[in-house]
């Protein structure tokens, strides 16, 4: 190969590399950058409203579960009974403010004439506020992560009923924050052993076996079947303390 041909080949290779580099470089439009900046103020507004309104409600328990649970079903009744008993024990109830398990939790709190809080999330489907939330304790959120902060910051305990991805998200968020000591430990109760059995078996057989969690992490939560058991666990935990906000 002649010297000229060799130089041409190298020059072509450089041009090809530059072309690929230009293709690989992605840039944001100015419009998107401007939108992100305004999101900061919207997020701040949700935090401020949440902190100011929830700071006054006193000790509460957050109850989680599926929005798809229908009235009259076993899990709906279970959530209502748990909320009723917890309210009679002196706790307010925090739910996601929507239908299903959330509605059942607020219904139980209202039936016991206690505080019934709803942290509603604005979604294109499924989620709308239920009628059992106290009118002055309904908050509407656009951002899931802000809403999760409120669930945890103002709760003295979690009761987790059968649900889907959202329920798992809320459960693992609480477990992670306690595990990493970002918040103080508080009671986490999973309702219905048969529903959670498969997940717990995977945690033990795979996550624990691979060394991704520790055996002691299983002490962070309880698994029960009845409202009496759930309420007893939470009451026993707080017998040693004067109740106060979890922050």
Residue 231 located in a structural domain: yes
| Domain annotation covers residue 196 | yes
Give yes or no for residue 193 having a pLDDT over 90: yes
Domain total for the chain?
1
CATH code for the domain of 88: 3.40.50.450
Q: Which domain holds residue 70?
A: 33-238
16 domain residue, yes or no: no
Mean per-residue pLDDT over the chain, rounded? 89
The residues, ordered by sequence, that sit 6+ positions from 213 with a Cβ below 8 Å of its Cβ are 203, 207
Average pLDDT over residues 102-118: 97
Mean of the pLDDT values across residues 84-105?
Answer: 96
Determine the pLDDT at residue 107.
98
pLDDT class for 12, splitting at 50, 70, 90?
confident
Among 38-42, 156-160, 240-244, the range scoring the smallest mean pLDDT is 240-244
The average pLDDT across 213-219 equals 96
Distance CA 143, CA 243 (A): 29
Chain centroid to Cα 9, Å, comes to 58
pTM, 2 dp: 0.82
Q: Which has the closest alpha carbon to 101: 70, 123, 142, 138?
A: 70
């Amino acid at each position: 190969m002649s010297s000229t041909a060799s130089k041409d080949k190298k020059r072509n290779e450089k041009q090809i590399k530059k072309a690929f580099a230009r293709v690989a470089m992605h840039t944001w439009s100015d419009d998107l950058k401007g939108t992100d900046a305004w999101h900061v103020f919207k997020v701040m507004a949700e935090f401020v409203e949440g902190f100011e309104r929830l700071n006054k409600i006193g000790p509460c328990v957050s109850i989680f579960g599926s929005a798809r649970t229908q009235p009259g079903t076993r899990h709906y009744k279970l959530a209502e009974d748990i909320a009723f008993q917890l309210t009679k024990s002196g706790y307010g109830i925090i739910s996601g403010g929507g239908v299903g398990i959330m509605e059942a939790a607020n219904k139980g709190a209202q039936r016991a004439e206690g505080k019934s809080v709803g942290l509603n999330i604005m979604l294109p489907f499924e989620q709308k506020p239920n009628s059992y939330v106290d009118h002055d304790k309904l908050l509407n959120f656009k951002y899931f992560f802000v809403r999760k902060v409120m669930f945890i910051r103002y709760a003295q305990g979690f009761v987790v009923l059968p649900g889907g991805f959202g329920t798992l998200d809320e459960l693992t968020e609480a477990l992670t924050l306690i595990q990493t000591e970002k918040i103080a430990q508080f009671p986490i109760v999973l309702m219905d052993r048969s529903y959670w059995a498969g997940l717990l078996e995977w945690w033990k057989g795979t996550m624990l076996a691979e060394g991704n969690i520790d055996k002691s992490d299983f002490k962070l939560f309880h698994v029960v079947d009845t409202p009496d058991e759930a309420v007893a666990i939470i009451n026993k935990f707080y017998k040693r303390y004067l109740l106060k906000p979890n922050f």
